[in-house]
Amino acid sequence: MKIAVAGTGYVGLVAGVCFAEKGHDVVCVDVDENKVEMMKSGKSPIYEQDLEELMQKNYKEGRITYTTDYKSAYRNADAIFIGVGTPEQPDGSANLTYVATVSRQIAETVEHDCLVVVKSTVPIGTNDKVEQFIKDSLTNKNIKVEVASNPEFLAQGTAVKDTLEAKRIVIGTESKEAEAKLMEIYKPFNLPIVSVSRRSAEMIKYASNDFLALKISYMNDIANLCELVGANIEDVANGMKYDDRIGANFLKAGIGYGGSCFPKDTKALKYLARQYGYTLKTVEAAVDVNTVQKTKLFHKASERLITFNGLKVAILGLTFKPGTDDLREAPSLDNVELLLKQGAKIYAYDPVGMENFKKKYPDQIVYVNNPEEALKEASVCFIFTEWNEIKNIKPETYKKLMKTPLVYDGRNIYELNQMKNAMVEYYSIGR
């Protein structure tokens, strides 16, 4: 089937490459010419495991192409997937400008009946508006364009695997014809398909992400109480995970969630509920807990130290989690800002995230090639991301290299006794 994909970020590019891998004829559209040329050369604009390899394979075999020419891409497509960004606005609502732009381009371009599929995370009811907007904008009134919802459930760092081996595919349609076409597109994936209405599909996406965010914030809240009462959050999580009603995933405490999904989606659903006069108290609590959790270690260190002014501070890990170069809502950003305001001399290491971080802080901090350079003569160390390169640092290394072996670990990488035996003053979350 001929598929066009609008947007080549985590959602659009991964979807396009995976559709090609399953045998579809795919063209990916982006407005950035440099990005398109980069993809044509076989380079991925995002850091994602297995993605570049599949891009090169399917481009070589002629199943995927990249272009800025949306007219040629949309003109004869059987299905057009919208995977553009829906960034958070100051009030927490989703910005649908990019979705509207693509919708207008589709209406002005398509030359025969086609299915438009929204993969971007959008507020409930958006697909209805997109369909009406396209119908209002169609220049050829004899063309039928129907809109379907097909939210993604990928995690950055495992996005390709999460798409090709998804636990389920959710499709939201308002006609048997649209449902049948989406079923045909996904048939080669041989995965369970949940077929519901458009609005239910939109809600499934938000409800799923926000539930996981709730779970994380709950464990962080319990971890904070564990510290006060003398319990160990890892022991608590271990005891909880055997209950099938709870499950083993998303029980790890830390310094909060980040990335492109959880922060944005919790705020968007909170905003949407308030538009309808309803308060999602649980979601609002998750947002509040996460906001405070991100800088918990900074404030703990502030109680230990008189000032950060003039001190060398080592930061290990900049991205919001391992396996990605994404910095969106990363705890490192909040903490770096606070440290710089206090006059800290920051030396930072991350295996893949430093180039992106340089765009935000090009001159204010020192970027180093390995953790040891960051730790040498440092007065304090913060661990924000559990990369293997950081987890493999031996406890005695902190004692050997640092001026003061004072470590604040936001990801609970080390055993308490390990650091104690290495004579490292060590603070973690919930232990």
Catalytic residue positions?
A: 261
- The contacts of residue 312 (CB under 8 Å, 6+ apart) are 344, 345, 347, 377, 378, 379, 403
Strands, sheet with 380-383, edge to edge from the N-terminal-most edge strand: 366-367, 345-349, 312-316, 380-383, 406-409, 425-427
For residues 73 and 91, give the distance between their C-alpha atoms in angstroms, rounded to a whole number. Answer: 35
Helices (H), 119-254: 126-137, 159-164, 176-186, 198-229, 233-240
**Residue whose structure tokens are 């995690």:** 155
Q: Is 292 exposed, middle or buried (0-12, 13-18, 19+ CB in 10 A)?
A: middle
Tell me the three state secondary structure of residue 164. helix
**304-341: b or e for each residue (b if 16 or more CB lie within 10 Å)?**
eeeebeebbbbbbbbbbbbbbbbbbbbbbbbbbeebbe
Tell me the three state secondary structure of residue 173. coil
